[in-house]
């Protein structure tokens, strides 16, 4: 198979996996993690900016996130952004820092988080399959235009299928790990 095409396919699939990792990091699993705030944006002089770019975020305790803005005027904006987010956390603002105390997850909330993780994993699988389909169509066109032989096309499609299977399996492992992480009491 054309190395260039193979590398493009693999690069796109790796990117899909990276996006899933980022999505999973933003799903709370009972322990505090600064990644929970990765998708929380605050209005910083008219520009939506991630919280970690306007404040230092630390984890002083397993169930607490401490946010210390570099500009104290941002305290209220950060608090509002957290309240508007889907984190379901109430920020405690003492005028200097914001504390986020993570409550124990109920079994219902754990189930919701597993469903959310499952959906993100399924979405990632769809992305992987779409990449496979896109490149298989490219290979068929190349064969039709006599740029590659029929044997090369079939061989290339088999290689792409192997890559697809590898990344789908990786997504499954990531989901199983995240599910275990969420359900751990």
Against a cut of 0.85, is the pTM above it?
A: no
Domains of the chain: 1-26+105-182 (1.10.132.20), 32-99 (3.30.1360.40)
Q: DSSP E strands: which ranges in the chain?
A: 41-44, 47-50, 55-61, 64-69, 91-93, 98-101
Count Cβ atoms below 10 Å from residue 120 Cβ, excluding itself.
Answer: 21
Tell me the mean pLDDT in the region 68-79: 90
Q: Is the pLDDT of residue 179 over 70?
A: yes
Contacts of the segment 104-111: beta carbons below 8 A, 24+ positions apart: 104/30, 105/28, 105/30, 105/182, 110/182, 110/183
Angle at alpha carbon of residue 78, lines to 51 and 93, rounded to 5°: 125
Per-residue pLDDT tens over the stretch 144-172: 998 888 898 899 999 999 999 999 999 99
Per-residue pLDDT tens over the stretch 92-127: 999 899 998 888 878 888 898 899 999 999 999 999
């Amino acid at each position: 198979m054309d190395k260039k095409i193979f590398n493009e396919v693999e690069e796109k699939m790796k990117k899909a996996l990276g996006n899933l990792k980022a999505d999973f990091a933003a799903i709370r699993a009972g322990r505090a993690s600064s990644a929970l705030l990765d998708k929380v944006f605050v209005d910083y002089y008219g520009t939506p900016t991630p919280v970690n770019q306007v404040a230092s975020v630390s984890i002083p305790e397993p169930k607490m996130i401490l946010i210390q803005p570099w500009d104290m005027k941002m305290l209220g904006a950060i608090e509002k952004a957290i309240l508007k987010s889907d984190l379901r956390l109430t920020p405690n603002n003492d005028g200097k820092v914001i504390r986020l105390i993570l409550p124990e997850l109920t079994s219902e909330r754990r189930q919701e988080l597993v469903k959310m993780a499952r959906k993100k994993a399924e979405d990632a699988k769809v992305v992987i399959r779409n990449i496979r389909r896109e490149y298989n169509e490219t290979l068929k066109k190349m064969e039709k235009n006599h740029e590659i032989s029929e044997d090369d096309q079939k061989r290339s499609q088999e290689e792409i299928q192997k890559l697809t299977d590898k990344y789908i399996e990786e997504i499954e492992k990531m989901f199983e790990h995240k599910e275990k992480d969420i359900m751990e009491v």
